[in-house]
Amino acid sequence: MEKLKITGGRRLAGRVKIGGSKNAALPALAASLLTGEKVELDNLPRVRDVRTMLRVLEQLGARVEAGEHGSAAVQADGFASFEAPYDLVKTMRASVLVLGPLLARHGRARVSLPGGCAIGERPINLHLDGLERMGAEIKLEHGYVEARADRLRGATVAFPSKTVGATENLMMAATLARGTTVLQNAAKEPEVVYLAELLGAMGASIEGAGTDEIVVEGRDTLGGASHRVIPDRIEAGTYLVAGAIVGDGIELEDARLDQMEAIIDQLRRVGVVVEPTEAGLRVARPEQLTSQDLRTAPHPGFPTDMQAQYMALMTQATGTAVIAETIFEHRFMHVGELLRMGADVRIDGHTAVVVGPARLTGAQVMATDLRASACLVLAALVADGVTVIDRVYHLDRGYEPMERKLRELGASVERIR
């Protein structure tokens, strides 16, 4: 199994290019199933989850052509199957995003239930309830969702709580439904807005993406489109934290201030200097980092996907920070590993109390999920001595090779077996 070996204590400087957003790319690829015409996506991140989604599409019968610089063209003009099998879904839950498009275009889909994962139970009941309201017949059998519908019909779906994935799945399904669909209490993440833009370019009629209520007028067919994936605000946020703890001036090329307000506001409260530049954003380590409490929340709040990295920052700040995780029930898996590196963190239910600054020391640690891995990389950059992070495949699911990007900034990082 591959590991990352990081020798801490180096100051980082220079420029890093932020890749396309994983969580925008995955639904965008699923959306390509809504048409028989070609959907071309540019700026796809070079991460494992994107490769997995392309495999899901291929095994459904779509033709995938990989282009240069992370572009891919998908054409779903013939279907080999209507099934997203367990083997693929278990490695990537976002495979359930093919459910809405398959059902809307073909009237049937068979998708493995994803089951729980390291960060929480993560059921898909809200996806299924919404599709049922749109007329789908849904059965759960043998660990699979079997869904059928002659043609989905528009409906009003009021989500009882915010959900990014169900908002995206239903928005895609609604584009080909008969009549009008209203999604109330919809998720407002930039990735939802991006998906609506792509669907619009494919000929869908969608209003209100980015607000609590999205209205979709169903169409008989959608067409192809060519679209550029937005930059990854979580990758950018992760490098902002690197810049805050060990940076001598790092420029994040392509990072977009307008999609990262909650992250940047929080970092500025801590004392981190973040400034827009022509190419993106620039971050520098301040004289002193001051601990600040944090509560994760759906957009426009502080994203749960940055909570672990923020905790790495708080180990280096002066004072006590109370970090509340409100989205996923088990998203403190990084804490045990941070303790092994010398951090002072106490968990109390859904909150973690971090006392800093702590002198971190290199250790052998284990990555448990994507963002927990990023937290450990950040901690290792500031720790004394050598840290070896095992199970780095978690990191590769959602980050373009970090050893390459960090080395370009001057870090001592290598991938070992």
Residues tagged active-site: 117
Choice between 53 and 317, CB closer to ligand EPU: 53
Beta strands in 264-325 (DSSP E): 273-276, 280-284, 294-295, 319-324
Q: With helix as H, strand as E and coil as C, how does 343-401 read?
A: CEEEEECCEEEEEECCCCECCEEECCCHHHHHHHHHHHHHCECEEEEECCHHHHCCCCC
Using CB under 6 A, which residues numbered 375 to 404 contact ligand EPU? Answer: 398
Q: Mask: binding to ligand EPU, 190-219, rule CB under 6 A, as x and -?
A: -x----------------------------
For residue 54, the minimal CB distance to ligand EPU (Å) is 15
Which residue among 75, 163, 238, 292 contacts ligand EPU (CB under 6 A)?
163
Distance (Å, rounded) from C-alpha 239 to C-alpha 406? 9
Q: Mask: binding to ligand EPU, 87-126, rule CB under 6 A, as x and -?
A: -------x-------------------------xxxxxxx
Q: Which helix (H) or strand (E) holds 408?
A: helix 402-408
Buried b (16+ CB within 10 A) or exposed e, 149-186: beebbbbebebeebbbbbbbbbbbbbbbbeeebbbebb
Q: Which helix (H) or strand (E) holds 40?
A: strand 38-42
CB-based contact 6:387 (threshold 8 Å): yes
Lookup: tokens for 363: 């250790």
Which residue among 328, 333, 387, 396 contacts ligand EPU (CB under 6 A)?
328
Lookup: tokens for 318: 């002066």
Lookup: tokens for 85: 């099998």
Residues touching ligand EPU, count (CB under 6 A): 26
CB-based contact 46:400 (threshold 8 Å): yes
For residue 361, the minimal CB distance to ligand EPU (Å) is 27
CB-based contact 307:323 (threshold 8 Å): yes
Which residue among 12, 53, 131, 166 contacts ligand EPU (CB under 6 A)?
166
Other CB atoms within a 10 A radius of the CB of residue 90 amount to 15
Choice between 87 and 121, CB closer to ligand EPU: 121
Q: Mask: binding to ligand EPU, 348-377, rule CB under 6 A, as x and -?
A: ----------------------xx------
Distance (Å, rounded) from C-alpha 298 to C-alpha 162? 7
> Dmax over Cα atoms in the chain, in whole Å?
63
Choice between 227 and 371, CB closer to ligand EPU: 371
Choice between 122 and 151, CB closer to ligand EPU: 122
For residue 115, the minimal CB distance to ligand EPU (Å) is 12
Which residue among 3, 110, 127, 219 contacts ligand EPU (CB under 6 A)?
127
Q: Which residue has 């790495």 as its token pair?
A: 312
304 near ligand EPU, judged by CB under 6 A: yes
Choice between 53 and 406, CB closer to ligand EPU: 53
CB-nearest residue to ligand EPU? 165
The window from 146-154, 159-167, 351-359, 376-384 that contacts ligand EPU (CB under 6 A) reads 159-167
CB-based contact 364:1 (threshold 8 Å): no
- Antiparallel, parallel or unpaired: β 319-324 and 294-295: parallel
164 near ligand EPU, judged by CB under 6 A: yes
Choice between 32 and 163, CB closer to ligand EPU: 163
Choice between 120 and 208, CB closer to ligand EPU: 120
For 335, phi then psi, to 5°, come to: -65, -45
The window from 12-20, 161-169, 170-178, 404-412 that contacts ligand EPU (CB under 6 A) reads 161-169
Q: Which residue has 């043609």 as its token pair?
A: 151
Q: Mask: binding to ligand EPU, 14-53, rule CB under 6 A, as x and -?
A: ---------x--x---------------------------
For residue 222, the minimal CB distance to ligand EPU (Å) is 21
Choice between 127 and 227, CB closer to ligand EPU: 127
For residue 349, the minimal CB distance to ligand EPU (Å) is 15
Residue ranges in contact with ligand EPU by CB under 6 A = 23, 26, 94, 120-127, 161, 163-166, 187, 191, 303-305, 327-328, 370-371, 398
